[in-house]
Amino acid sequence: MASTNRTQPRSFGGMISRLLHKDSSLGYILLSPAFIFLAVMMAYPFFYAVWLSFTDKQIGAEANFIGLLNYTKLLGTNLFSKTVTNSLVYTTFALIFKFVGGLGLALMLNRPFIGQRVVRALLLLPWIMPTVFSTMIWSWLFHPTFSILNDILVVKLGLLAEPIPFLRDETWAMASLIFVNVWRGVPFFGITFLAAIQSVSPEIIEASKIDGASRWASFWRITFPMILPVVLIVMLISTISTIGDFDLPFLLTHGGPNNSTTLFALTAYMLSLQSGQIGLGAAVTLTMFPALIVLVVISLISVRRQEAQD
Amino acid sequence: MRTVKRIRRLRSVRNTILFYVALAAVVIVMLFPFYWGFVTSLKTEVDIYDFTGNFLVPKRPNLGNYATLFAEPRYFRWFWNTFYVSTVTTIISVFISVMAGFAIARLRFRGAALAGTLIFVTYLAPKGFLFVPLAQILKDWGLLGKLSSLMITYPTNLIPFCAWLLSGYFANLPYEPEECAMVDGASRIGAIVRITLPMAVPGIITAAIFSFTASWNELLYSIVFVSGDQNKMLTNGVIGAFAGGDWFSWGPLMAASTLSSLPIALLFLLFTDRFVSGITAGSTKG
C-alpha cells in the first residue's frame, strides 16, 4: 500500500485521495459530520442547560446567576416531589407489565400457528402507529361520560356496577397512563424477546427435553438465561425512554388531576414554557441526570458483555 | 393404552383451542382502539354518543367528519409540512449515519471503539431531556418558530439510533468484494460506494423508514419549537384544532387520527420485514 502511495504525485488531489484511502484518516472524516452535529445539538445544549439551571432566566428577561437556588426551591415544592414519585410509579409498573406481557407474547408467537406472519404484523401496530394519534383514540376510549370501555363493562356485560373514572381519579389516571404505555410497548418487548428466543439453538432445548426437563423447566433453566442479556438491554432502553416520556401524560391527562400524573418532561414544559420560568424548567430536566447516568452505565456494561459473548 | 392415547389427543385438541382463544383475545385488545377510532370517524355527530344496539358498526355510515377535515385548508398544510420535514430529516440523518456507522464498524483507527460508545450513549438520551436549552439555542440562532428548527433538531435523536443500527449492519458484510475492487484499480471511496453500500441497502432502508416514522410521530419538539398555524406539523396541528383544552371534537379528531396515521400504516404494510429487523436490531445490534 505504501509503495503505491509514494508513486502518486504529491499534489493536492493526491493528498486528498491518500486521506480518503487510509483507515486512520478516513475514519475521522466519515465520523466528523455525526460528531459535529451531536456536539452542537447535544453536548452544547447540555452545558447550556446546566448554566440555565443556575440562573433565574425567565422568558424575555436577562439571566442572573443564582447558584443552586432553583434546585433548593424545587425540592420544597409539592409539584416536584409528585413528579419524582409519579415517575417512579409509572416507570416501575410499566416496566414490570411490559416485561411479563412481552415474554408472554413472545412465547405465544414462538409456537407455530395458522396466520402467524399476519398476526405478528398486526400485533406490532400499537408500537408502529403514531403515538399521538393512537393516544387521541385512547382519550376517547377513556371519555368521562361516553367511554365505550365503561359501556361494555357496565351496560353490556354487567361486570361493574359503576363506570371507571379513568382519567378523573388520581389513582385511576396513573393506572390508565401505565396501561396505554404497556399497550404500546408490549409489541416491542414481545418481538425482541421472540427474536432472542429463536436465536437459541434448538438442539440445546431438545437435549434438555430428552433429559426429562418439562417445557416450563427447560424455558426457565435453558432459554431464559440465554436471552437474559437481550432482555436486560431492552428493559434498560425502555426504562430510560419511560422516565423521559412526555407524549402520554401531555395528551391523556395534562399531568392531572392534581399533578398526580406529571412526569419530568411535562413538569419542565409547564414550568419553562407555560409559566416562563426557564431556569427552573432546565433544573427539572437536569434532576433526571443522575438516574440517567446510572442507567446508561449499566446499559453500556450489559451491551459490552453481550458483544463479548457473540 | 388406547384410552391414554385418546385422552392425550383430546388434551392436545383442547390446548390448541385454548391457544387460539387466548391469541384472539390478545389481538382484539391490541387492535380494538384502532377499530374504535376508525368506526367513530364514520359516525354522525349524534351517533358518536349512541352505544345502543350493534355498536360495532356505524348506524348511518358517512364521511362527514372527513369532509369537515378537508374543508380545513390548514390540514393539508400540516400534512405537507409533516411530509416535507420528515423527508428532509430522514435524508440528513441517514446520510450522516451511513458515514458514521461505516467508520465505526469497518475502519481501524484510534478512538473507533470510543466513538461507538459515545454514539450509544447519545442514543440513550431521552427527548424530554434537552428541549429547554434547545429552545433557547434555536431562539439565539433566529430559528425558533420556523420549520427549519425541526429539521435540525430531529436528526439529533435519529443519528445515534441509525448509526448504531447501520454499524451492526456494516460489521456483518464481507470485506473481500471491496478489497477485490481496489485491487482492480477502484479508489477506496469508489469501492465503498459501488460495492459495499449496495450490499447495505436493506439496512439503509430500515434506518430510513425508522427516521421517517419517528419524525412523522414527533410531538414535543413540534409543540415547543414551531409557532403559527402555517408552520405546524400534523401532531400539534390536529391536537390544537380538534382537542383544544376542554373542548374535543371527537368525530373530526378520529377522522384526522385515522388519516394522519395512514402513511405510516402504508409504509409498514410495504416494509413489514424491515420494521421487524429494525426493532430487533435496536436492542441487539446486527
- Nearest-Cα residue of chain B relative to residue A34: B96
Residue B67 lies in a domain: no
Looking up cell 430536566, which residue turns up?
Answer: A285
Q: Which of A38, A91, A107, A310 to mutate to test binding with chain B, by most B CBs within 10 Å of its CB?
A: A38
The beta strands (E) that lie in B150-217 are given as none
* Cα A55 from chain centre: 30
Q: CA-to-CA distance for A285 and B191, rounded, in angstroms?
A: 46
A257: DSSP letter? S
A207 min Cα distance to partner chain B (Å): 23
Residues B123 and B210 placed together within one structural domain of the fold: yes
Residues B96 and B200 placed together within one structural domain of the fold: yes
The most distant pair of C-alpha atoms in chain A lies apart, rounded to whole Å, by 89
Residues B210 and B272 placed together within one structural domain of the fold: yes
pLDDT of A300 above 60? yes
Of all residues in chain A, the percent with pLDDT exceeding 90 is 49
Structural domain boundaries enclosing A82: 69-129+171-309
Q: What is the pLDDT of residue A2?
A: 42
pLDDT of B217 above 80? yes
Q: Say if residue A112 is preceded by a cis peptide, omega within 30 of 0.
A: no
pLDDT of B226 above 80? yes
Q: CA-to-CA distance for B82 and A3, rounded, in angstroms?
A: 53
Instruction: Write the residue in A24, A33, A243 that is nearest to B126 by C-beta.
Output: A243
pLDDT of B283 above 80? no
Residues B128 and B180 placed together within one structural domain of the fold: yes
* Cα A210 from chain centre: 40
Say whether B243 sits in a helix, a strand or coil: strand
The residue out of B62, B91, B106 marking a domain boundary is B62
pLDDT of B274 above 90? no
The most distant pair of C-alpha atoms in chain B lies apart, rounded to whole Å, by 84
| ipTM score of complex | 0.91
Residue A103 lies in a domain: yes
Contacts of A299 in chain B (CB under 8 A): 120, 124
Residue A36 lies in a domain: no
Q: What is the DSSP string of A280-297?
A: HHHHHHHTTHHHHHHHHH
Residues B6 and B96 placed together within one structural domain of the fold: no
The CA-atom distances, in angstroms, between A117 and each of A113, A196, B209 are 9, 17, 20
Residue B36 lies in a domain: yes
Residues B136 and B23 placed together within one structural domain of the fold: no
B12 band by pLDDT with thresholds 50, 70 and 90: confident
Is the torsion defined by CA of A173, A79, B136, A33 positive or negative? negative
For A21-46, what is each residue's pLDDT tens digit? 788 888 899 999 999 999 999 999 99
| Joined grid coordinates for residue A214 | 418439562
What type of residue sits at position A292?
Answer: L
What type of residue sits at position B153?
Answer: T
Q: Which of A8, A23, A132, A188 to mutate to test binding with chain B, by most B CBs within 10 Å of its CB?
A: A132
Residue A229 lies in a domain: yes
Structural domain boundaries enclosing B95: 72-284
Of all residues in chain B, the percent with pLDDT exceeding 70 is 97
CB atoms within 10 A of CB A79: 14
Residues B45 and B85 placed together within one structural domain of the fold: no
Q: Are A23 and B49 inside 8 Å of each other by CB?
A: no
* Structural domain count, chain A: 1
pLDDT of A12 above 50? yes
Average pLDDT of the segment spanning B49-60: 84
Q: CA-to-CA distance for B100 and A273, rounded, in angstroms?
A: 35
* Structural domain count, chain B: 2
Residues B97 and B14 placed together within one structural domain of the fold: no
| Beta carbons within 8 Å of A159's beta carbon, 6+ residues apart | A153
A245 min Cα distance to partner chain B (Å): 7
Residues B53 and B107 placed together within one structural domain of the fold: no
Instruction: Write the residue in A129, A188, A296 that is nearest to B124 by C-beta.
Output: A296
Looking up cell 418532561, which residue turns up?
Answer: A265
Of the ranges A165-169, A178-182, A206-210, B105-109, the best mean pLDDT one: A178-182
Residue B24 lies in a domain: yes
Residues B220 and B181 placed together within one structural domain of the fold: yes
* Cα A249 from chain centre: 14
B261 band by pLDDT with thresholds 50, 70 and 90: very high
Computed on alpha carbons and rounded to an integer, the radius of gyration of chain A in Å comes to 26
Instruction: Write the residue in A31, A46, A299 that is nearest to B103 by C-beta.
Output: A31
Residue B130 lies in a domain: yes
Contacts of A63 in chain B (CB under 8 A): none
| Tally of residues, chain B | 286
Q: What is the pLDDT of residue B159?
A: 95
Q: CA-to-CA distance for A110 and A107, rounded, in angstroms?
A: 5
| Joined grid coordinates for residue A164 | 371507571
- Nearest-Cα residue of chain B relative to residue A231: B283
Residue A16 lies in a domain: no
Q: CA-to-CA distance for A114 and A293, rounded, in angstroms?
A: 45
What type of residue sits at position A6?
Answer: R
Residues B118 and B219 placed together within one structural domain of the fold: yes
Q: What is the pLDDT of residue A309?
A: 66
Kindly report the average pLDDT of chain A as a whole number.
88
Is the distance from CB of B255 to CB of B238 less than 8 angstroms?
no
Instruction: Write the residue in B163, B257, B283 that is nearest to A230 by C-beta.
Output: B283
CATH of the domain at A248: 1.10.3720.10
Phi and psi torsions of B226, nearest 5°: -110, 155
The CA-atom distances, in angstroms, between A103 and each of A12, A175, A228, A232, A299 are 59, 21, 11, 13, 20
CATH of the domain at B130: 1.10.3720.10
Residue B148 lies in a domain: yes
Q: What is the pLDDT of residue B245?
A: 62
Continuous segment of H or E residues that includes residue B244: strand B243-244
Is the distance from CB of A180 to CB of A94 less than 8 angstroms?
no
Q: Are B120 and A300 inside 8 Å of each other by CB?
A: yes
Instruction: Write the residue in B29, B261, B285 that is nearest to A133 by C-beta.
Output: B261
CA angle, residues B267, B273, B275, in degrees to nearest 5: 55
Residues B21 and B96 placed together within one structural domain of the fold: no
